[in-house]
């Protein structure tokens, strides 16, 4: 199978902060169009650094960043090309929000693209609705709760309609309803063809949501299908990640001879419920 050209790709990328030790070295990481990728790794493993390299906020010390197969030039033209394709939502919403109200903040990016007023209004409306914060449009951003600020920051990136949406721990600090709303919004974006990459510490979310995982382990970056990587005990130990709930349940079912070796595993309680229902009805046939 020939794989299509990745949208963004780091090739043999290395990075160190000034006077610091190397954070990343020799990293090859390709993000294919339309995929949902979860970036995992312990605190300080370099997730935020990697996301900032991909979105152009930091520049590789060695190696290169490619966009649609062409090396990104860090001049005005090159960075504009990158920033109209890739949007990063940073870990702390207070580093992202700056306008007086939610509406103004979310409008800022699309307005800066020089879009007609009507198009700006439409994008803002859709982004606020997707993140369930329409009622907060006129509120001062500094008076919002942490979860509300987090959603406002994500809405600002969504309104830019990027081809690649990168988010640094977007669900951290969201309540369960907020998390589900965000996953719904991401699902709609993916259906519209957006590529989504998120750093997260939540292995259950990664297994449920992502197609692919990228795991930053001390021995380097490992990428592959999420279910495969999150079932790799040696990798999970090395990266100090917990085994996801679904993988643990599937392993128990297999141990008791209840799930065939190659069968797909339940990733959520709802999927387990559906699987149990199907298993029960096949026994009564
Ligand atoms: N601005 C900076 N200057 C110097 N060192 C930094 C800077 N930002 C991060 N580091 C260091 O780089 C390494 C990687 O940090 P990074 O923030 O990328 O990790 P992370 O995987 O995102 O961690 P977390 O899960 O805590 O968010 C850490 O050792 C950190 O101390
Ligand atoms: Mg981080």
Whether residue 83 is found in the same domain as residue 202: yes
Q: Judge contact between 93 and 152, C-beta under 8 A.
A: yes
Query: What is the average pLDDT across 269-277?
Result: 83
Whether residue 114 is found in the same domain as residue 82: no
Structure confidence at residue 162 (pLDDT) = 95
Structure confidence at residue 280 (pLDDT) = 77
What single-letter DSSP state applies at residue 119? H
276 pLDDT band, cuts 50/70/90, is: confident
285 pLDDT band, cuts 50/70/90, is: low
273 pLDDT band, cuts 50/70/90, is: confident
Structure confidence at residue 275 (pLDDT) = 81
- Give the integer Cα–Cα distance in Å for 59 and 64: 8
Which phi-psi region, left, alpha or beta, contains residue 193 (left: φ > 0; alpha: ψ -120 to 50)?
A: left
Where residue 208 sits, what CATH number does that domain have?
3.40.50.300
Whether residue 46 is found in the same domain as residue 171: yes
Whether residue 17 is found in the same domain as residue 38: yes
Which phi-psi region, left, alpha or beta, contains residue 90 (left: φ > 0; alpha: ψ -120 to 50)?
A: beta
Short-list 68, 159, 44, 52, CA closest to 109: 159
Whether residue 9 is found in the same domain as residue 84: yes
Whether residue 4 is found in the same domain as residue 144: no
Q: Is residue 126 part of a domain?
A: yes
Beta strand pairing call for 164-168 and 220-225:
unpaired
Q: Give the chain's length.
A: 285
253 pLDDT band, cuts 50/70/90, is: confident
| String of DSSP letters for 99-160 | SSBHHHHHHHHHHHTT--HHHHHHHHHHHHHHTT-GGGTTSBGGGS-HHHHHHHHHHHHHTT
Distance from residue 15's CA to the centre of ligand 1 (Å): 11
- Give the integer Cα–Cα distance in Å for 115 and 112: 8
Average pLDDT, the chain: 92
The per-residue pLDDT for range 123-181, each reduced to its tens digit, is: 999 999 988 899 999 999 999 999 899 999 999 999 999 999 999 999 998 888 888 88
Total tally of structural domains belonging to the chain: 3
Structure confidence at residue 251 (pLDDT) = 85
Pick from 14, 49, 167, 171 the residue to mutate for probing ligand 1's pocket: most ligand atoms within 8 Å of its CB.
49
- Give the integer Cα–Cα distance in Å for 113 and 98: 18
Whether residue 230 is found in the same domain as residue 268: no
Short-list 42, 49, 41, CA closest to 24: 49
What single-letter DSSP state applies at residue 266? P
The per-residue pLDDT for range 151-165, each reduced to its tens digit, is: 999 999 999 999 999
Whether residue 2 is found in the same domain as residue 120: no
Question: Bridge-partner residues for 242, per DSSP?
Answer: none
Q: Is residue 190 part of a domain?
A: no
Q: Is residue 48 part of a domain?
A: yes
Whether residue 9 is found in the same domain as residue 98: no
Whether residue 9 is found in the same domain as residue 58: yes
Give the 3-state secondary structure of residue 41: coil
Whether residue 80 is found in the same domain as residue 14: yes
Beta strand pairing call for 164-168 and 195-199:
parallel
Q: Is residue 182 part of a domain?
A: no
More confident residue, 17 or 245: 17
Pick from 19, 41, 46, 202 the residue to mutate for probing ligand 1's pocket: most ligand atoms within 8 Å of its CB.
46
The per-residue pLDDT for range 47-95, each reduced to its tens digit, is: 999 999 999 999 999 999 999 999 999 999 999 999 999 999 999 999 9
Global pTM value: 0.92
Listed in sequence order, the residues at least 6 apart from 228 whose beta carbon sits closer than 8 Å to its beta carbon are: none
Short-list 141, 82, 79, 58, CA closest to 107: 141
Q: Per the structure block, which two tokens stand in for 146? A: 């942490």
The per-residue pLDDT for range 216-239, each reduced to its tens digit, is: 999 999 999 999 999 999 999 999
User: Is the CB–ligand 1 distance for residue 116 below 6 Å?
Assistant: no
User: Is the CB–ligand 1 distance for residue 41 below 6 Å?
Assistant: yes
Q: Is residue 186 part of a domain?
A: no
Whether residue 105 is found in the same domain as residue 239: no
Task: Tell me the residue range of the domain where 284 lies.
Answer: 245-285
Structure confidence at residue 3 (pLDDT) = 61
The answer, yes or no, to whether residue 113 has pLDDT greater than 60, is yes
Domain boundary among 209, 226, 243: 243
Q: Is residue 181 part of a domain?
A: no
- Give the integer Cα–Cα distance in Å for 10 and 43: 21
H-only helix segments in the chain? 47-54, 76-85, 102-112, 117-130, 146-158, 176-191, 203-209, 226-229, 233-238, 245-255, 269-284
The answer, yes or no, to whether residue 194 has pLDDT greater than 90, is yes
The answer, yes or no, to whether residue 262 has pLDDT greater than 80, is no
- Give the integer Cα–Cα distance in Å for 126 and 155: 9
User: Is the CB–ligand 1 distance for residue 17 below 6 Å?
Assistant: yes
The ligand placed nearest to the CA atom of residue 45 is 1
């Amino acid at each position: 199978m020939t794989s299509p050209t990745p949208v963004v790709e780091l090739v043999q990328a290395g990075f160190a902060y000034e006077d610091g030790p190397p954070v990343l070295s020799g990293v090859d990481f390709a993000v294919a169009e339309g995929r949902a990728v979860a970036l995992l790794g312990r605190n300080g493993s370099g997730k935020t650094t990697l996301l900032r390299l991909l979105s152009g906020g930091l520049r590789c010390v060695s190696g290169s960043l490619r966009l649609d197969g062409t090396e990104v030039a860090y001049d005005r033209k090159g960075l504009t090309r990158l920033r109209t394709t890739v949007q990063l939502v940073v870990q702390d919403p207070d580093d992202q929000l700056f306008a007086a109200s939610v509406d103004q903040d979310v409008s800022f990016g699309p307005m800066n693209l020089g879009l007609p007023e009507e198009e700006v209004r439409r994008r803002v409306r859709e982004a606020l609705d997707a993140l369930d914060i329409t009622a907060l449009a006129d509120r001062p951003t500094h008076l919002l709760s942490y979860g509300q600020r987090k959603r406002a920051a994500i809405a600002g990136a969504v309104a830019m309609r990027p081809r690649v949406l990168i988010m640094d721990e977007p669900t951290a600090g969201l309540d369960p309803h907020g998390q589900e709303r965000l996953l719904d919004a991401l699902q709609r974006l993916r259906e519209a063809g957006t590529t989504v990459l998120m750093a997260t510490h939540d292995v259950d979310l990664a297994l449920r949501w992502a197609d692919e995982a990228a795991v930053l382990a001390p021995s380097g970056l490992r990428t592959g299908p999420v279910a495969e990587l999150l079932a790799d005990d040696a990798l999970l130990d090395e990266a100090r990640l917990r085994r996801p709930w679904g993988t643990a349940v599937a392993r128990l079912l297999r141990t008791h001879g209840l799930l065939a070796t190659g069968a797909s595993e339940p990733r959520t309680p709802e999927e387990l419920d559906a699987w149990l229902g199907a298993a029960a009805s096949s026994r009564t046939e």
